[in-house]
Amino acid sequence: MKGLTIIGSGSAVPNQVLSNQDLSSIVDTSDEWIESRTGMKERYVSSAQESLAQLAAKAAINAISMANLTPEDIDLIILATSTPDDLFGSACQVQNIIGAKRAVAFDLTAACSGFVFALVTASQFIRQGVYRNVLVIGADVLSRWVNWEDRTTCVLFADGAGAVVCQSHETKDNFLGFELCSDGTQNSSLNLAYMGTTHNLLENISVGSGSYQTINMKGKEVYRFAVEKVPEVIEKALHRSNLTIEDIDWLILHQANQRIIDSVATRLGLDKQKVISNISKYGNTSAASIPLALDEAIRQSRIKPGDIIAISGFGAGLTWGAAIFCWGGSN
Ligand code: UT7
């Protein structure tokens, strides 16, 4: 079995900034409500001309460059997204944009848990010795799928991309443990469902034809689920890593709500100084939120090589999961 190191990170956001003040002129809300209930102040949203693949590619290039690799060194690209430009997947578009000619590329859908699920998937290919350099991207453009008349969701979701480069190693293993969970019985708490209308082909044969609805979320239910399940899944991942909460240098949760982040940290008994949050600037960017926060903290030199990081994602599916790793090629 090979070991895994995480040797590069990158991120990207679109150009347009949408503030709480801006939102209060679109729906009946206020800066005070949004900030006190969620911790969000502003977020980035893509224009109709900007693509998910371009955003993901920018984050990818930044990560590959930090890893001192070239796109041609990449063997596998996993793009965690729920908002591809193409329903058949956008990973191959990213492969083409960055020129990762040798890479196999595919999409992975696990909503806001997507980055954690993709990183764990990458680790399996690396451990088995199948691929050496794996690019894991979390990217979403949820602004396309928000109902801009629904104040309970439109103030929350935003756009962004983050990426890491994982590399196999003969002796070092910096991917310490993980735990993933799904519960389809709660699917209707948070979904973006297909909207089919009947198209009659022949007298006795019909097919569905249609598009998708907008994001539907029962906020309170998802909130309760998150504060209960996230500490649990982190503790399981720590157990699998033979670590305890005292060993963790940094906690990065999916950035859905500052109150969820605070509550999870308190339940885990973790010092607030060790919790990374950038929700005030970016809002909820779904699969991008963890790698965006990770990359920002690495580039600010808050996270240093050798630091042990716990990440946890949660969201639609419902899905949730946690992974524990050590940042950098050295340990
Ligand atoms: O990324 C996937 C995972 N997603 C999450 O983890 C989200 C989890 N849920 C949450 O973060 C929170 O439930 C929300 C931020 C979505 C909502 O916060 P809340 O404290 O649970 O508010 P609420 O839904 O209980 O609404 C409280 C009040 C309601 O008014 P009434 O019924 O008390 O009169 C809402 O109508 O706030 C009202 N409200 C708003 N008011 C101003 C809801 N949205 C807004 C708004 N502006 N944008």
**Ligand 1 pocket test: which of 109, 152, 264 has the largest number of ligand atoms within 8 Å of its C-beta?**
152
User: What is the pLDDT of the chain when averaged over all its residues?
Assistant: 97
Per CATH, domain 176-185+216-279+286-326 is 3.30.200.20: no
Task: Tell me whether domains 3-174 and 176-185+216-279+286-326 share a fold.
Answer: yes
Instruction: With a cut of 80, say whether residue 331 has pLDDT above it.
Output: no
Task: Give CA angle at 256 (251, 261), nearest 5°.
Answer: 40
**CA–centroid distance for 86 within its chain:** 19
Q: What is the Cα 70 distance to its own chain's centre?
A: 24
Sequence ranges of the domains in the chain? 3-174, 176-185+216-279+286-326
Examine residue 292 and say whether the peptide bond preceding it is cis (omega within 30 degrees of 0): no
Residue 79 pLDDT: 99
The predicted model gives 307-315 an average pLDDT of 98
Determine the pLDDT at residue 329. Answer: 79
* Residue 49, pLDDT score: 96
Q: Tell me the per-residue pLDDT of 230-288, one tens digit each, with 9 for 90 and over.
A: 999 999 999 999 999 999 999 999 999 999 999 999 999 999 999 999 999 999 999 99
User: Is the separation of the CB atoms in 180 and 150 below 8 Å?
Assistant: no
User: Which of ligand 1's atoms lies nearest the C-alpha of 151?
Assistant: 48
Whole-structure pTM value:
0.97
User: Which protein residues touch ligand 1 with a CB less than 6 Å away?
Assistant: 29, 33-34, 37-38, 112, 151-152, 155, 190, 219-220, 222-223, 226, 256-257, 260, 284, 315
Ligand 1 atom at shortest distance from the alpha carbon of 259 = 11
Please, which pLDDT band fits residue 209 given cuts at 50, 70 and 90?
very high
Q: Quote the pLDDT of residue 205.
A: 97
What is the set of active-site residues? 112, 254, 284
Q: pLDDT tens digits for 87-102?
A: 999 999 999 999 999 9
More confident residue, 330 or 234: 234
Ligand 1 atom 48, closest CA:
151
Homologous superfamily of the 3-174 domain (CATH): Thiolase/Chalcone synthase (3.40.47.10)
Using an 8 Å Cβ cutoff, are 199 and 209 in contact? Answer: yes
User: What's the pLDDT tens digit per position in 17-71?
Assistant: 999 999 999 999 999 999 999 999 999 999 999 999 999 999 999 999 999 999 9
Question: Is 213 a residue whose pLDDT tops 90?
Answer: yes
pLDDT of residue 330: 56
